[in-house]
Amino acid sequence: MKENIFGKDINACEALMTELGEAKYRGKQLYQWLYQKRCENFSEMTNFSSALREKLDGQYIEAVLMHYEHGASLCVSTQVGCNMGCKFCASTRGGKIRDLTAGEILAQIYLAEKDENLRISNVVIMGIGEPLENYDAVIKFIRIANTGFGIGQRKISLSTCGIIPGIEALAEENLQINLAISLHSVFAERRKQLMPIANRYDFEPLMEACRAYFKKTGRRITYEYALIDGYNDRDEDITGLIKLLKGSQNHLNLIGLNEVQETPYKESPRLSYILGVLEKNGVNVTMRRKMGRDIDAACGQLRKKRYKDKVSL
């Protein structure tokens, strides 16, 4: 399979040009064509000779999978399927097929902009897949989305189900992005039932990694919490959330659960009540209704049924 040219950073573009026997500065020109001018056809790269365009042509992009809603905020996928096994999530059925490359993740922005004739200003890395399990490609994606596509780092959010080594590595990247953690329960055992990955990365060590992340980056963390009827919306859950977050700069995002047909989990009717109690108790909290209008959704819960999938493999 040929390598995608889309997703190469500036060094890789220069290396490619050198490999092709061209001057190094051609790499910078290629980078500009790809990301600043959003050129999708080599024939439009008018400052390249026809011989060079021919050499490049065999490596042009194929978009693999994108997952988006109309609007200037785009939710991107980082893997085809997912191995994390979260019980409320449709994306994990069938497991992970493969990781996406940085270019394939970028292509989701590119194609959404092209299809909808708009510019994406916010990106949420919360679609199918666990981004920190595809770490290198995702970091590369973020850097190119920022410096190439011109999307501000603070306009990029990454959501993880709690991969501790990934959080630790991310803290060292010197990025200004927003980190969101799929929390969904403050009780370790309940969280494990809901999110099997918590058996590997338990609640307390995860909270410790989050504290270290905040200390290192100064970036507040958002905890995503999908309210499930009778499971994590009980009075003791509210008390646990208050204990965890009262007075903290971190932020709690309550979400109306998107019910997945094959699971027993139902949306909680207590959403507004819980929001009120948490607010009264000094928790920095917002509420997000079920996805639909708002693309900024809980990690991996974008169901095919509710959203357009575009697949080109």
Catalytic residues: 62, 299
- 34 counts as binding ligand SF4 under rule CB under 6 A: no
The stretch near ligand SF4 (CB under 6 A) out of 42-50, 81-89, 209-217, 230-238 is 81-89
Least CB distance from residue 130 to ligand SF4, whole Å? 4
**DSSP symbols for 19-44:** HTT--THHHHHHHIIIIIS----GGG
Question: What secondary structure letter does DSSP report for 62?
Answer: -
- Number of residues near ligand SF4 (by CB under 6 A): 13
The yes or no reply on residue 296 touching ligand SF4 (CB under 6 A) is no
Nearer to ligand SF4, 27 or 162 (CB): 162
Rule CB under 6 A: is residue 91 a binding residue for ligand SF4?
A: yes
- What is the residue whose two structure tokens read 């770490």? 135
Tell whether residue 274 is a contact of ligand SF4 (CB under 6 A): no
Per rule CB under 6 A, is residue 300 in the interface with ligand SF4? yes
Site for ligand SF4 in 131-170 (CB under 6 A): 161
Q: Return the residues of window 103-132 that contact ligand SF4 according to CB under 6 A.
A: 128-130
Instruction: Decide whether 224 or 237 has the Cβ nearer to ligand SF4.
Output: 224
Residue 82 touching ligand SF4 (CB under 6 A): yes
Verify binding: residue 224, ligand SF4, rule CB under 6 A.
Answer: no
Q: If binding is defined by CB under 6 A, does position 66 make contact with ligand SF4?
A: no
Q: Does 86 help bind ligand SF4 (rule: CB under 6 A)?
A: yes
Between 77 and 250, name the residue whose CB sits nearer to ligand SF4: 77
Nearest to 76 by CA among 126, 38, 35, 135: 126
Contact 3, 21 (CB under 8 A): no
The residue among 92 and 268 lying less far from ligand SF4, judged by its C-beta, is 92
Q: Which long-range contacts (CB under 8 A, 24 or more apart) does 167-173 make?
A: 167/132, 167/206, 167/209, 167/210, 167/213, 168/209, 168/212, 168/213, 169/132, 169/135, 170/132, 170/139, 170/213, 171/212, 171/213, 171/216, 171/217, 172/216, 173/139
Q: Which is nearer to ligand SF4, 92 or 146 (CB)?
A: 92
Closest CB to ligand SF4 among 84 and 111?
84
Radius of gyration of the CA atoms of the chain, in A: 21
Extract long-range pairs of 117-121: CB within 8 Å, 24+ residues apart: 118/72, 119/72, 120/72, 120/73, 120/74, 120/149, 120/151, 121/72, 121/73, 121/151, 121/152, 121/155
Q: Which is nearer to ligand SF4, 7 or 300 (CB)?
A: 300
Q: C-beta of 104: minimal distance to ligand SF4 in Å? A: 16
Which residue is nearest to ligand SF4, using beta carbons? 300
| Buried b or exposed e, range 99-134, using 16+ CB within 10 angstroms | bbbbbbbbbbbbbbbeeeeeebebbbbbbbbbbbbb
Q: How many residues does the chain have?
A: 313
What type of residue is 140? K
Q: Give the shortest CB-128-to-ligand SF4 separation in angstroms.
A: 5
- Shortest distance, CB of residue 197 to ligand SF4, whole angstroms? 7
Kindly report the backbone phi and psi dihedral angles of residue 43, in degrees, each rounded to the nearest multiple of 5, phi listed first: -65, -20
Smallest distance from the beta carbon of 91 to ligand SF4, in angstroms?
4
Residue 223 Cβ vs ligand SF4, minimum distance, rounded to whole Å: 14
Query: Which residues form the interface with ligand SF4 (CB under 6 A)?
Result: 82, 84-86, 89, 91-92, 128-130, 161, 299-300
